[in-house]
Amino acid sequence: MHRDIKGGNLLLTKDGVLKIADFGLARGFAKVSNSNFTVRVVTRWYRAPELLLFCHKYNEVIDVWSIGCFIAEMFIGNPLFRGRSDLD
């Protein structure tokens, strides 16, 4: 799990190859015996609903949510969910 997918961490080469950067929050979820993770991951605008609802057991689907938010942002030109807090 990357746990911080956002535009700043997605790099595109001149040849059109997508590269993912910044693995500081990444975790190998299959190798962790305790599946209770922190919910304070991912930039707020790209945070999956389960994280906003404080679910400490999650998997790679939080990255899929973040990717979807970023793709929507590319199409509409603005972040999809512009919250200033978790409640927003």
Catalytically active residues, by annotation: 4
- SS3 labels along the chain: CCCCCCHHHEEECCCCCEEECCCCCCCCHHHCCCCECCCCCCCHHHCCHHHHCCCCECCCHHHHHHHHHHHHHHHHCCCCCCCCCCCC
